[in-house]
């Protein structure tokens, strides 16, 4: 399949952003992706020319290091080049000029390009909101995004997992996961007791939810027990037993 370049009769665009979006819209069904390659001809701190290359441009990186996983690459030194230039007139419109129309590779599925799997700002905000729930998985978030996407969403489950991990690091800031959890419980006014080891890791933690504490206060003569047996995402067993009778509390971890 021949990968067609942008047509010569493309209209003028009001901004560089609009011109690049039009190039992406043309390239996607053709089986290639475009990237911003080199800005130039600055005026007032802003570029008035942007060179656009194929995402397969550039050369493969060869390493002599041993013991490293060899990652896949789409780089084929593709010669395709387009420039987007701002006209010297009062309107400041942008023109697309094809300099090298040919490619040296076959068409790819659009999902092979991270440029097409990238989420919109609104979708990133939705992932940030959903990922705050520790019980939701990357797959569930992806299904929620696909259900609301007006067009086919190409992002993968791994893309969502990577984004969730990055958002989690941003939420933690300078804190460890343990410190962040304790700070959140303090901020919410939730009763908790824990013991940490020398490496700031939990040896055990007790969290008293409001409803449970109120029930114990009203009925101290009753024996209440709750058993949780589950595993975390690493496959480690989590076991908690809590019981209370009269004024004594028994905890087994």
The tokens for 108 are 């790819």
Q: Which has the closest alpha carbon to 169: 112, 226, 128?
A: 128
Q: Work out the pLDDT band at 238, boundaries 50, 70, 90.
A: low
How far is Cα of residue 192 from the mean position of the Cα atoms in its chain?
A: 32
Q: Work out the pLDDT band at 81, boundaries 50, 70, 90.
A: very high
Residues 6+ apart with CB under 8 A from 120: none
Q: Render the burial of 124-147: b for 16+ CB within 10 Å, e for the rest.
A: eebbeebbeeeeebbeebbebbee
Whether the per-residue pLDDT at 198 is higher than 50: the answer is yes
Q: Which has the closest alpha carbon to 253: 224, 231, 227?
A: 227
* pLDDT tens-place string over residues 128-170: 988 887 678 899 999 999 998 767 789 999 999 999 989 888 8
For the chain, give the percent of residues with pLDDT over 70: 78
3-state helix, strand, coil in the chain (%, to 5): 30, 25, 40
Q: Which has the closest alpha carbon to 193: 207, 173, 176, 212?
A: 207
CB 141 within 8 A of CB 163: no
CB 96 within 8 A of CB 36: no
pTM of the model: 0.62
């Amino acid at each position: 399949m021949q990968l067609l370049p942008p047509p010569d009769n493309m209209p003028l665009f009001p901004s560089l952003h609009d011109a690049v979006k039009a190039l992406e819209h043309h390239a996607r069904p053709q089986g290639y992706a475009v990237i911003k390659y080199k800005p130039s001809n600055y005026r007032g701190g802003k570029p008035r020319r942007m060179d656009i290359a194929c995402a397969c441009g550039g050369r493969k990186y060869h390493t002599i290091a041993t013991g490293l996983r060899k990652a896949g690459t789409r780089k084929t030194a593709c010669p395709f080049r387009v420039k987007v230039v701002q006209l010297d007139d009062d309107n400041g419109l942008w023109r697309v000029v094809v300099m090298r129309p040919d490619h040296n590779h076959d068409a790819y599925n659009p999902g092979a390009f991270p440029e097409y799997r990238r989420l919109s700002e609104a979708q990133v905000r939705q992932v940030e909101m959903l990922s705050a729930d520790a019980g939701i998985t990357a797959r569930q978030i992806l299904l929620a995004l696909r259900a609301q996407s007006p067009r086919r969403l190409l992002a993968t489950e791994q893309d969502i997992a990577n984004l969730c991990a990055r958002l989690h690091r941003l939420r933690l800031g300078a804190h460890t996961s343990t410190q962040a959890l304790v700070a959140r419980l303090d901020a919410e006014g939730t009763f908790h007791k824990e013991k940490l080891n020398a490496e700031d890791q939990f040896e055990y933690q007790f969290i008293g939810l409001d409803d449970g504490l109120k029930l114990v206060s009203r009925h101290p003569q009753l024996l209440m027990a709750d058993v949780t047996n589950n595993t975390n995402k690493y496959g480690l067993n989590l076991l908690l037993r809590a019981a209370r009778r009269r004024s004594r509390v028994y905890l087994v971890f």
